[in-house]
Amino acid sequence: MRRSIEEIFRAAAGDLIGQQRGGQARLSKASGVHPPYLNAILKGHKAGSDDVRRRIAEALGYPGRRYEEFLDLGRALLDHNPRPEYPTGSPGDEMADRGFFPIPFSEHMRLAPGGMTIPITEDSDQSRVIVHVPSLGRTSARGLQAFRVKSDDMEPLLHQGDDVLADTRRNDPRQIREGALYILCWDLSDGECQIKRLRWAEKPRLLAVESIAPAYPPIFKETKEVAIIGEVIYSWRRYDH
């Protein structure tokens, strides 16, 4: 019997919601899907887009490529089969169930061609770090990316060689948090990105782009000249003895 993706999705989502505290209220907050719309999707009154369904699956513990595992669970439930099992070490192992997720990590930050606010790197530069997402006060790893600090202009707060974690969903210059640190690029032709503190010099048109080290004076840029990659939410340091 051929089943629709929507039907398979609802079976998996309903089963997982029943096992977690908070139910639909928690899921709505974690996925960013408004409660009435979420309820309509779960009851089959609306299909929801593929992006929305993936966000819901991620909030239920199945991010990125694990979405196919999420659908496998739905198929198994509809066919009254045992829950599918995945080999140890795969994206479906118990680490994800405990809140540990692999986050993309880049030693070098560059802007994608055409000024897109998406950081890109060469394949040789791309790796991953394991992050315990609940310890960050989050329920989802969506939008997180780690980067290496490459300059000394944010000392003593951040040192060259430190690693930072950024939320790439916080990239709207109209909604910056004054005084927060952001990964951004203002020379769109060059594409190099840096970590800076942002404040309004003249809202909503002119931004003060600040370093912390006294040797680097602030730079003033129009919002249209700045591409924000994301807000820095966490940092950790490497010590050499």
Contact 69, 62 (CB under 8 A): yes
Judged against a pLDDT cut of 50, whether residue 6 lies above it is answered with yes
* pTM above threshold 0.75: no
What's the CATH code, domain 5-89?
1.10.260
Rounded to whole angstroms, the Cα distance separating 201 from 179 reads 12
**Residue 131 burial by Cβ neighbours in a 10 Å radius (0-12, 13-18, 19+):** buried
Domain(s) of CATH 2.10.109.10: residues in the chain: 99-236
Output the CA–CA distances (angstroms, integers) from residue 107 to 119, 121, 156, 163, 171, in the order listed: 11, 8, 20, 9, 20
Q: How confident is the model at residue 141 (pLDDT cuts 50, 70, 90)?
A: confident
Compare 102 and 235 and report the one with higher pLDDT.
235
Domain spanning 99-236: which CATH class is it, in words?
A: mainly beta
Domain with CATH 1.10.260 in the chain: 5-89
CA–CA distance, 46 with 30 (Å, rounded to integer): 20
